[in-house]
Amino acid sequence: MIVTNSQKKKRVLLGITGGIAAYKAAELARLLIQDGIEVQTVMTEAACHFLGSTTLQALTGKPVHTQLWDESVNNSMAHIDLSRAVDVILVAPASADFIAKIAHGLADDLLSTLCLARNCPLMVAPAMNRQMLENPATQRNLTTLQKDDITVLGPAHGIQACGETGMGRMLEPQELFEAVQNFFQPRLLEKKRILITAGPTFEAIDAVRGIINLSSGKMGYALAQAALGAGAEVTLISGPVCLTYPAVKKFIPITSANDMLTAVKNEVIFNDIFISVAAVADYRPAIAHTQKIKKSDNDLMLELIPNPDILQYVANLPNPPFCVGFAAETENIDQNAESKRHKKKLPLLVANLAQEAMGADDSTLLLFDDNGKHILPKAPKIDQARRLIAHIAALHKQHHS
Ligand code: CTP
């Protein structure tokens, strides 16, 4: 049987160092295993004070290595063998001490030694008290890691185990899992800059009310995630949604269509590709009252005025980026999608059935471009996003060759 690249088992070495966040590494291991990724765990001695190696052994189905001097390894070369048998090493959590060791090439335990001896990429997810993180020594070490092509994931801001609040929390297991998934994606958009709009816009009626729609932002955020996985530099402009945004280069939260247009105008010239996923409100109230409108027994008439069409503005720029539009339709999908594509002068328009797609985790996508119609059958939005990014990468290449 021929094993293609996509069928090849993905293998991750999960390194765990000493820190309260070590307990989250168990959840990360579970997510990786569930996704079919092989996980080999190596724990430092300090990590074993926070988390039992048996937990990781049970989750990954493999013995956990903790010792440099392990007599059960036939050739006593665990530090070489382990790092040769994986595609990537992820150390999560990575303590300040461990980061310092890696920055200086120290190798006094199994994990630091195998990191020094590795011939595969290394990613670290720092987790520490905010003061430890802010310390100039740690900052210097993190800069060294980045210069050495080691990927630093996070850290995030939030409440810390010590009770203080600030930067230094480890990224959540789901975010680290997504970073690993991204690592395994083909780099179809390496160094390309992509601007994405996502979510609904909110058009104020008064100080406490407004017009909004059912867009959850899931498709736009999945596309941002998939574009990152393809190696792109992503700017995400988002209306109000209840999602954690992926580790994009720039995240710009906005409220109304006019805010979104301003943000797009500021960013668009720096980008090669524009993907307009946002469900932009077509109209806004003529007057946004600054105070709450009081109830009365009379009818209340709202006058609505048209919003600017952001995608149309971008597509009609003298030197536009490669523009991709979305169309949420409730009927006559093919007809409406094609006429929208021509009206807005788009090389690619992605249509879906609004009733099925809005707020859902799965969707069916219909792609319309100069070659005709392509169907991406119903699948989770992150899978659809990856397929769509592959399609966009191919078309973008054609356009520029
Ligand atoms: N769009 C936009 N600005 C608007 C309205 C829409 O940028 N004011 C973009 C959307 O992000 C999407 C595409 O245009 O990529 C199509 O949006 P859609 O709401 O499906 O179509 P409309 O052009 O608004 O037409 P209609 O609402 O009549 O279907």
Looking up tokens 């992509």 gives 194
Whole-angstrom Cα distance, residue 340 to residue 225? 26
Whole-angstrom Cα distance, residue 264 to residue 234? 13
The secondary structure element, H or E, covering residue 350 is strand 348-353
Whole-angstrom Cα distance, residue 290 to residue 300? 17
pLDDT digits (tens, 9 = 90+) for 258-279: 999 999 999 999 999 999 999 9
- Residue pair 324/348 in contact by the 8 Å Cβ criterion: yes
The secondary structure element, H or E, covering residue 203 is strand 203-204
- With the most atoms of ligand 1 within 8 angstroms of its CB, the residue from 340, 345, 346 to mutate is 340
Residue 39 DSSP SS3: strand
Cross-strand pairs, 86: none
pLDDT over 70 percentage in the chain: 97
Which ligand 1 atom is at minimum distance from the Cα of 312? 7
| Same CATH fold assignment for domains 10-183 and 193-283+304-399 | yes
Q: Is the CB of 260 under 6 A from ligand 1?
A: no
The secondary structure element, H or E, covering residue 338 is helix 333-343
For atom 24 of ligand 1, the residue with the nearest CA is 282
- Residue pair 166/128 in contact by the 8 Å Cβ criterion: no
Exposed (0-12), middle (13-18) or buried (19+): which is 212, by Cβ within 10 Å? middle
235 C-alpha vs ligand 1 centroid, how far in Å?
20
Task: Name residue 242's amino acid.
Answer: C
Per-residue pLDDT at 221: 97
Residue from 48, 115, 120, 162 carrying the catalytic annotation = 162
pLDDT at 16 over 60: yes
pTM of the model: 0.87
User: Does the annotation count 323 as an active-site position?
Assistant: no
Residue extents of the structural domains in the chain:
10-183, 193-283+304-399
76 C-alpha vs ligand 1 centroid, how far in Å?
63
pLDDT digits (tens, 9 = 90+) for 39-67: 999 999 999 999 999 999 999 999 999 99
For atom 8 of ligand 1, the residue with the nearest CA is 309
Q: Is the CB of 307 under 6 A from ligand 1?
A: yes
What is the rounded average pLDDT for all residues in the chain?
94
pLDDT at 20 over 60: yes
Per-residue pLDDT at 165: 86
Identify the band that residue 76 occupies on the pLDDT scale cut at 50, 70 and 90: low
Q: Is the CB of 215 under 6 A from ligand 1?
A: no
- Residue pair 359/218 in contact by the 8 Å Cβ criterion: yes
Q: Is the CB of 134 under 6 A from ligand 1?
A: no
Identify the band that residue 159 occupies on the pLDDT scale cut at 50, 70 and 90: confident
Which ligand 1 atom is at minimum distance from the Cα of 325? 15
- Residue pair 96/132 in contact by the 8 Å Cβ criterion: yes
Q: Is the CB of 388 under 6 A from ligand 1?
A: no
343 C-alpha vs ligand 1 centroid, how far in Å?
11
pLDDT digits (tens, 9 = 90+) for 334-357: 999 999 999 999 999 999 988 888
Q: What's the fold here for domain 10-183?
A: Rossmann fold (3.40.50)
Per-residue pLDDT at 357: 80
Pairing mode of beta strands 165-169, 156-159: antiparallel
293 C-alpha vs ligand 1 centroid, how far in Å?
29
Q: Is the CB of 223 under 6 A from ligand 1?
A: no
Distances (CA, A) of 188 to 37, 79, 329: 22, 33, 29
Q: What's the fold here for domain 193-283+304-399?
A: Rossmann fold (3.40.50)
